[in-house]
Structure 1
Amino acid sequence: MRNVSEIIEQYLKQTLQQSPDGVIEIQRNELADQFNCVPSQINYVISTRFTLEKGYIVESKRGGGGYIRIQRIELQSHGAVMDHIFQTIGTHMDQLASEGLLYQLEEGGFITSREAALMKGAITREVLILKLPLRDEIRARILKAMLISLLSK
């Protein structure tokens, strides 16, 4: 059985897919009531599963009429994907950001789940047993080289 966080994540993703402009606005307290959980559970789901690295822009406004706006970043073309890779990776990349990028590319259908798993395995801190910041630099180089090779078909 799935936990509450997974259920909330799936609900938000489905709502985003149904949105004509790819943007949703939610009330944290209303969503918490709907899923019978505390509002901090909603914050947790949004802050861990709807990150920029995973392809989402999150904006929030606090107060009485406050809301949380979630927007999916769509990578439409091959050129946009390549630009996104170069902008996201840069010269250094930590493990969390690299996993988020791979998640985004997999969700967008640009790489398979097997390709994502292979790349994740090659760039983990358990494999790259180096001190920071060298580890993040090597990870960025490896990930960039693998993605360029894979997506330059």
Structure 2
Amino acid sequence: MTTPSRQTETRHHPLGKTCHHFIHHELTCDQYDELRARAGGCCELCGLPEQETGGRRLVVDHFQDGGLRFVRGMICDRCNSTMSCLDGTKPWGPKKIWETAARTYEARSWQQPTAEQRSRVEAIREERYAAVARLRGRHRAA
């Protein structure tokens, strides 16, 4: 069996170069195919068919911070923004109504984090939420 490398993971790139999913998400071409098959051509969060996403492909959704990284699934751009809110990298605003759906989707992640890793994710998010709240407070005071 060949060890996956930049030279072997080229099947999805139109020019035969190393695939984005391997470089950025450490997914082999076979794993990427499995992930796409699991999504069934639809966003795994909102259910929007890929052909209705305004010409964009579904994206590989992942969590990454503090040495912790896992792939959750395939989602549309709008839902990728929603997951950024869940992850605390941007404020919720009106997207907060999607929080329960986002957490349910994350619980079905393609790469399942351990209980300890899930606790770390929540701690990271709490730190991020607090930082966003501080920044929003500064903007209001200015």
Do they superpose with TM above 0.5?
Answer: no
TM-score of the superposition, structure 1-length normalised? Answer: 0.27
Structure having the larger proportion of residues in helix? 1
TM-score of the superposition, structure 2-length normalised? Answer: 0.29
- If asked which structure has higher relative contact order (CA below 8 Å, sep 6+), I would say 1
